[in-house]
Amino acid sequence: MTREQLHEVKEQFRSNQVVCERVVGLFHLLSNKPRFRIACMLMHGEACVQELAEVVADGKMTNISQQLKMLRLGGVVTKRRDKKQILYSISDEKIARLITFLRTEFLEDQTL
- pLDDT for res 15: 86
In CATH terms, the fold of domain 3-107 is: Arc Repressor Mutant, subunit A (1.10.10)
Q: In 3-state terms, what secondary structure has residue 83? A: coil
Residues 6+ positions from 75 with CB-CB distance below 8 Å: 26, 91, 95
Mean pLDDT for each consecutive 10-residue tract of the chain (112 residues)? 91 86 92 92 95 82 87 96 95 92 76 52
Are 68 and 80 in contact, with CB atoms under 8 Å apart? no
Note the pLDDT of residue 103: 84
Q: What is the Cα Rg of the chain in Å?
A: 17
| pLDDT value, residue 110 | 58
Domain positions in the chain are 3-107
pTM of this structure: 0.81
